[in-house]
Amino acid sequence: MKKLSRKEKHDQCMKEIKSTLIVVALCCIWHVASAFLLNGTGLYFLGMPAWLSVSVFGTIILAHVGVWYLLKFVFVDFEYDDEEEGEQL
């Protein structure tokens, strides 16, 4: 577990928030774009229209990859306490 100053904790939280929002935005963009682009093509996958299959299953896969990336490279394990050594409130 890392020991971080109050400023470093705030910066790390902001980095995690922004990165998570980027992954969510990418998932939303994929979901909507693939549904609109494949709608009306007449293709079927797994007995469902291709736009539904690609949109839903692609979003699930993209979300899993995004969460893996966030956990591996962005998130940091640290204690978020207000009490810090030598610091007075």
24-52 pLDDT, tens digit each: 999 999 999 999 999 999 999 889 999 99
Domain assignment of residue 57, yes or no = yes
Percent of the chain exceeding pLDDT 90 equals 75
Domain assignment of residue 55, yes or no = yes
Residue 21 tokens read as 């929002």
Domain assignment of residue 53, yes or no = yes
Domain assignment of residue 58, yes or no = yes
Q: DSSP letter at 41?
A: S
Domain assignment of residue 59, yes or no = yes
Domain assignment of residue 2, yes or no = no
Q: What is the mean pLDDT of residues 58-66?
A: 98
State the pTM of this model.
Answer: 0.84
Residue 35 tokens read as 């549904």
- 3-class DSSP state for residue 82? coil
Q: What is the pLDDT of residue 65?
A: 98
Q: What is the mean pLDDT of residues 72-85?
A: 81
Domain assignment of residue 26, yes or no = no
Q: Look up the domain containing 47 and give its range.
A: 40-77
Domain assignment of residue 28, yes or no = no
Local confidence band at 78 (pLDDT 50, 70, 90 cut-offs) = confident
Q: What is the pLDDT of residue 46?
A: 86
> Domain total for the chain?
1
Q: Measured between alpha carbons, how far is 76 from 2 in angstroms, rounded to an integer?
A: 8
